[in-house]
Amino acid sequence: MDANNAFDSDLIHAIFKHIWARRFRERERSDAIDATDAEVALGTSKKNRLASANSNALKLSCELLKSFVSEAVQRAAIIAEAEGIDKIEASHLERILPQLLLDF
């Protein structure tokens, strides 16, 4: 909510860019395969561009991710509490994960 709790937008951006770059590379690879398999495929210029996000979109993404993470932690914490454990384990996360993912 407040600035202190917000995710570092630079960090989020870095993560995003990392993912984009990876996807871009995968796509290029698959494109190359496509091109050899079927000489039909045509490289579109847009496809070859890396995705980008403007600052507002980043801010929003940060907020969304934050609420996602906090919700995940809180839910996992509820599970952990119910088990009488004061430490959230991966299994706790796994329990709430399917529904959490569907809720977002």
Partner 1 sequence: MGPEVPIELVEEDGFDWEAAVREIDLACLKSLNPSSSSSSNKDNVTKPAKRQSTLDRFIARPDHYPPPPDPPVFSDPNFDNDNSPCVGIDPETAKTWIYPVNVPLRDYQFAITKTALFSNTLVALPTGLGKTLIAAVVMYNYFRWFPQGKIVFAAPSRPLVMQQIEACHNIVGIPQEWTIDLTGQTCPSKRASLWKSKRVFFVTPQVLEKDIQSGTCLTNCLVCLVIDEAHRALGNYSYCVVVRELMAVPVQLRILALTATPGSKTQAIQGIIDNLQISTLEYRNESDHDVCPYVHDRKVELIQVPLGKDADEVSKRLLDVIRPYAVRLKNFGVLLNRDYQTLSPHELLMARDKFREAPVPGIPHISHGDVESCFAALITLYHIRKLLSSHGIRPAYEMLEEKLHEGPFARLMSKNEDIRMTKLLMQQRLSNGAPSPKLSKMLEILVDHYKIKDPRTSRVIIFSNFRGSVRDIMDALSSIRDVVKATEFIGQSSGKTLKGQSQKVQQAVLEKFRSGGFNVIVATSIGEEGLDIMEVDLVICFDANVSPLRMIQRMGRTGRKNNGRVVVLACEGSEKNSYMRKQANGQAIKKHMRNGGMNSFNFHPSPRMIPHVYKPEVQHVKFSIEQFIPRGKKLQDEPATETPAFKKKLTPEEMDMLAKYFKPGEEKWRVSLIAFPHFQTLPSKVHKVMHSRQTSILIDAMQHLQETTLTEQSKKFSIKYGTPLAERDELDTGLRVGDDPKDFPSFNDLDVNTSQRKAKQVVESPTSTLETTENDFEASSPRHCYLFSSECASVDTLGKVFVLPVPLSFSSNVPGPDYVGREKILSSPNKFHMDVVPIDSSSKHRQDNVSCKLKEGLLPDCANETLESQSLLKRHSTDVGKGDIENCAGEIMISSDEDDEDLELSPRLTNFIKSGVVPDSPVYDQGVANEANIEDHLNRPPTRLSNELAEEPSTPEKKIHITCTASEFRTPEKEKDLANGTECFAVSPMPEEWRTPLANITNASSSASKDWRLSSGEKSETLRQPRKLKRLRRLGDCSSAVKENNPGIAKTDHVRSRSLGERNIRGKKKIRADNNARIFIDAEAEVSSESEMSVDEKEDLTGDSVEDSFIDDGTMPTANTQAECAKVDMMAVYRRSLLSQSPLPTRFRDVAAASSPSPYSSGLLKTINESRSDSDKSLSSLRTPQTTNNESNKEDTMAATGDFSVAQISTDSRKRKFSLCNSANVPVINLENKFEAHAQATEKESHEGLRSNVGASQYKEEDDDDDDDDAFYATLDFDAMEAQATLLLSKQRSETKTKEDAPVKPHMGNQRTDDGPSFDLGLW
Q: Are 62 and 1 in contact (CB under 8 A)?
A: no
Residues 9-48 binding partner 1 (CB under 8 A) are: 10-11, 14-15, 18, 21, 25, 28, 31-32, 35-36, 39-43
Token pair 């995710």 is found at 7
Does residue 4 touch partner 1 according to CB under 8 A? no
Does residue 57 touch partner 1 according to CB under 8 A? no
Nearest to residue 65, comparing CAs of 17, 15, 4?
Answer: 15
Nearest to residue 41, comparing CAs of 54, 49, 50, 32?
Answer: 32
* Alpha carbons 4 and 15: distance in angstroms, whole number: 20
Does residue 71 touch partner 1 according to CB under 8 A? yes
Binding residue count for partner 1, defined by CB under 8 A: 40
Per CB under 8 A, residues contacting partner 1 are 8, 10-11, 14-15, 18, 21, 25, 28, 31-32, 35-36, 39-43, 67, 70-71, 74-75, 78-79, 82, 90-91, 93-104
